[in-house]
Structure 1
Amino acid sequence: MDERKRDSIVAYLLRRMAEFDITPEAIAASIADDQRRVKAVRYRDAFGNGWDGEGVAPQWVVNATSAGQSVEHFAVQRAADASGNKRAVNWRDDPFAGSRLATIKPEYRQIP
């Protein structure tokens, strides 16, 4: 991105922030909340739906566990576990591997 385009975008953002009375501190707090929320996610499916493991399970977790999948299959992998070793996915334990459930995507979630 060239410098002129960047300056134009920054000026536009500053005008919009002033228009809606948004402070840089409010943006920083919002970003920090988002990052905290993302780090709190313990389970995630292939479509990016997340769950922190607390409270009522969302519908995607209920559907998967009803179909025989373990909730631990959806555990978010950290960069390294406590021992420093990376965890690997063992696809041989996936009950959906090779089935229609593994290949068909819901229409409402397809990305063009």
Structure 2
Amino acid sequence: MSDAVRPEPSDGDEAIEIERQDAARRYVVTVDGVQAGVAVFVPSPSAVTFTHTVVDPAFGGRGIGSRLAKFALDDTVARGLRIVPRCPFIAEYLRHHAEYESSVDWP
């Protein structure tokens, strides 16, 4: 069961959706109904630790990973939780998006 699903705007004709799957502890991005990537997390009462993010190479170079990261981080902040970036991709995204700094606990 998912708690958050949002269609994402796309530059082309493809349909992009991002969903939080609490039971699986991951955010999933699909493109035209095909799973394109995941961001895996470990929840705690006060924080979400991101441990791994991957985008299928077939979807690379289209900003899919950045959309996934933004959705996951925005969702975490909206829930009033801290972000703990153990995943290199999420950590790098955060280094380029200072708007999240007040919500990040760097490991």
Q: Which structure's CA Rg is the greater one?
A: 1
Short-chain TM bin: under 0.3
Given the two structures, how large is their TM-score scaled by the length of structure 2? Answer: 0.21
Given the two structures, how large is their TM-score scaled by the length of structure 1? Answer: 0.20
> Which protein is richer in helix relative to its size?
1
Q: Which has the higher contact order (CA 8 A, sep 6+)?
A: 2
> Which protein is richer in strand relative to its size?
2
